[in-house]
Amino acid sequence: MGLGDMISQQLVERRGLREHHTGRTLTMVSLGCGFVGPVVGGWYRVLDRLIPGTTKVDALKKMLLDQGGFAPCFLGCFLPLVGTLNGLSAQDNWAKLQRLWPTVQLANFYLVPLHYRLAVVQGVAVVWNSYLCWKAHQP
């Protein structure tokens, strides 16, 4: 999440190092390390115990359970937190997430071994977090 903020500030917003908001980046790092990483990593371990395997059917089941069960609960906590920290509306975030994450998770559960899933999602999240940080800090 911190990397997403740095990309947003340096490549999208073009702040430069002197104008970089370090506090904003540290807030995103704290959110990623203290909330997102532990919660999502734990969920992947639970999900793999509930539905072992990596066939197409297993991946579809995992994606459906992830998006139908976990995602609404997680996002119910995550979006208000991010919105509060970044001044974003939960409605804008929700609309974007509904389009992006089911596709990412279907591919993740079908193609990626358990021990790499969190890394894959975090890679996609770098792009997502760059967008969120940019959107949140528009003048």
- The stretches of 51-89 forming alpha helices (DSSP H) are 56-65, 71-86
pLDDT, tens digit, 9 for 90 and up, residues 67-110 = 888 987 887 787 677 767 766 676 776 666 677 778 888 888 88
pLDDT of residue 90: 66
pLDDT of residue 96: 64
| CA–CA gap between residue 11 and residue 13 (Å, rounded) | 6
pLDDT, tens digit, 9 for 90 and up, residues 6-55 = 998 999 889 999 999 998 899 889 989 999 899 999 999 999 999 999 99
- What's the pTM value of the predicted model, to 2 decimals? 0.64
Angstrom CA distances, 20 to 30, 40, 80, stand at 17, 29, 25
Angstrom CA distances, 43 to 8, 47, 85, 86, 132, stand at 28, 6, 24, 25, 23
| CA–CA gap between residue 112 and residue 71 (Å, rounded) | 19
pLDDT of residue 46: 96
Which amino acid makes up residue 84? Answer: T
pLDDT of residue 125: 80
Q: List the one residue out of 139, 118, 135, 114 whose CA is nearest residue 4.
A: 135
| CA–CA gap between residue 85 and residue 138 (Å, rounded) | 14
Under the phi-then-psi rule, with left for phi > 0, alpha for psi from -120 to 50, and beta for the rest, what region is 21? beta
pLDDT of residue 93: 67
